[in-house]
Structure formats: structure tokens, C-alpha cells
Structure 1
Amino acid sequence: MPITNHQTAGYAFLQEMYEDPYYPDAVLDQCRAVLLRLCETIESDRPSDLATLYVLTRAATAEFNGLQAEFEAAGSEIETVARELIADDFCLIASAYGFAEADSEELIAGRDCERGVMARKRMSSSPQTKAATSAGWRTSALESALRMS
């Protein structure tokens, strides 16, 4: 089913992630497909209230959680920066379909943060990480730099 909403039909979902080589395009294509399916589902099911919208976005969030292993296999992960960018796209979708008042945390409730949190905890104990963090590096840039060393 083609998307008819003019705000989402031509929107470049996850654009910032595609521009960052840390995130593999092949896995991002799968993530983008999740967002497009969410748009299609909203258009076909026409949720009448936020509670119904949240059911749909939680299902999409579960699909993102299922892609974590593919990110890891490609030497990447859905970390803090990625989660924020994905949440931004969920918010854009909600707003485009008339749910501007949707709570961003509710839209992505059920996200699997444990893996990223544990990886950051392991990394945070290293001297390189402590030095880089105090210098104000972004998490994804820090993680990329550590993988290269």
C-alpha cells in the first residue's frame, strides 16, 4: 500500500544515521522499512486515539529491538544517538497523522536499552573512554574511535 500522507511519503527517514558510516546501510534499510510499515498501518487502521497509536508504535519498536543482533553483526548497535534519531522519526510520524500531542517516550515504550547500556558501562571503565567523555565526545563517535584502536 503506497503511503498517501504528504509529510511521510517522501520523507527521508533516519537520514542522519545513513550519513554516519557507523550504521550499516543494509540494516538501516530494514529500519526504514519498519517506519514505512508503521505509516502504512496508521493509514490503513486509522487509530482514533493515542492509546491505539501507542499499540502500533510499540509493535514497530519491537521490530527495531529485533534488529539489534543485525546491527551487532555489522559492528554497530542501536545506541543513544540512534535511539534519539529513531524517536524523532516516530514523533514526526505521530505528528503527521494528527497526534502532535503524543508523548515521545510512550511512542517508543518497550525499546530494548539493556544491550547499549551494558556496552557503555563496560566501555566507561576504560581510560580512553573516561578521557574522551570528559572531552565531550558523542557516544557513537566515542564507540567508533574505541573500536578502531
Structure 2
Amino acid sequence: MALKKEINYLIDMYRDSYYPDFLVDKVKEAIKVVVYFLENETYTIESVQLKLDEMTDKINDLSEEFYAHDSEIETVARESIADTVFLVLEAYQINIDIEEAIRNRDW
């Protein structure tokens, strides 16, 4: 899916070999679903938050897969994910606090 805005996704996770790239790619794809929604749908703050909740739930579901590959969604990953979501919200001028945006997180 071609997206209109350039966002550097999960920079710190991609830089750190502790996180398998194929799993970081899955996190990135979960975030890109939100971006695609923002670019292609009419939305409200509430509908954006619901998409962010779905995204966060998908990322939560990857925890076991990270563990299975001797990795986990810990401090660096949490910050990288939060930073990327913040950049998305900023790029699309969505006024949702980052803590609220990722409120469903288990990480």
C-alpha cells in the first residue's frame, strides 16, 4: 500500500538485532493499517482511537512470537512503537495523547 506521508517506522527496533526484522515488520504493518485508514477514510477522533486500539491489540498478540525468538517488547521497543505512533498522529494532525493512543498495550 502506497502511503502519502513519509514516516520513519520503528527506527530503534530496526537498528537493534535483538528484535527480529520480520517481527518488527509485523509491528510496522499494524501501524500502517492506521495510516491507511487516516489516508482513505472519513474519521472522527473516536474512530481513530478504535483503530489505534485494534493496532495495539495486534501488537500485543505478537508478544509470544517475540518470546519464541528470544526477544520481547520491552523498553526500547515500547519507546520505538510509541515514537512511531506519535509521528503518525503528528503527521496527520490527530489530537490524541500518546498514552491514550496506545492505552490497550500490554508492553
> TM-score scaled to structure 1, two decimals?
0.67
Aligned length: 107
Structure 1 consecutive aligned stretches of length 4 or more whose deviation exceeds 3 Å: none
Query: Which residue pairs with 1:16 in the alignment?
Result: 12
SS of the residue aligned with 2:26? helix
| 1:107-128 Cα deviation digits (max 9, x unpaired) | 0011013xxxxxxxxxxxxxxx
For the pair 1:34 / 2:30, whether they are aligned, the reply is: yes
Other-structure match for 2:41: 45
Q: Deviations over 1:28-73 (max 9, x none)?
A: 111111111111122222323x222111101100010011111001
Separation (CA, whole Å) in 1 of partners of 2:97 and 2:25: 26
Q: TM-score, normalised to structure 2's length?
A: 0.90
1:83 match: 78
Structure 1 distance, partners of 2:47, 2:33, is 16
Q: Please, which of 74, 98, 114 is the counterpart of residue 93 of structure 2? A: 98
Matched-pair identity in %: 36
Cα offset, 1:78, TM superposition:
0.4
Q: RCO higher in 1 or 2 (8 Å CA, sep ≥ 6)?
A: 2
Question: Which residue identity does 2:25 align to in structure 1?
Answer: D
Structure 1: segments with no counterpart, 5+ residues: 114-149
- State the Cα RMSD in Å: 1.4
